Structure 1
């Protein structure tokens, strides 16, 4: 069993990343620390669809639409994006991500997603500036 301190340190990392992407929504830290999937999905959705317009365009160009989907379909597409675009193997299965619990792993997973998108965003902006 993981200690509460581990979850708290992961939440602090997540909070820093949310500031970096200027996440506009309210964050339910209680829900995050309990592993409530409904608290994670809006953060992932914002990261993939709103934070970086160049990255969102890249998703659409690849045929990976992220908006207007059920939680299950969104998660399926999320895992496809992580596999195909980032060559990233998630630490949680889709089923684990969509159920309660696994809070520390989910928070680490969300941090990884934000970091991957931040890196891609910087690459895309660098390419855009050199054109």
Structure 2
């Protein structure tokens, strides 16, 4: 059942992002926070103002968790494809899903280990 909704491209993208989240040493998580900071910065502050032992593991963890967003975006794309939604609208839905997944990942990481 799950294979019906997840393509090889989606699984590959999730695996690559998972590895990049780890091997980028937090760069992916930091870039992701910059993308979602317009929403999260008023609550958690800016990445540059954080300090302490929790910051680096949080950026690594958020980058790795973002891989789940690719699975969700792929699942949504597949559902929209089956309903005959045009590629442009599916692309927008994919991008919005990834952005929301980044915001949710960072919110969760910050609530658990944050400032």
Assess same fold via TM > 0.5. no
State the TM bucket, normalised to the shorter chain.
Answer: 0.3 to 0.5
TM-score (normalizing by structure 1): 0.32
TM-score (norm 2): 0.35
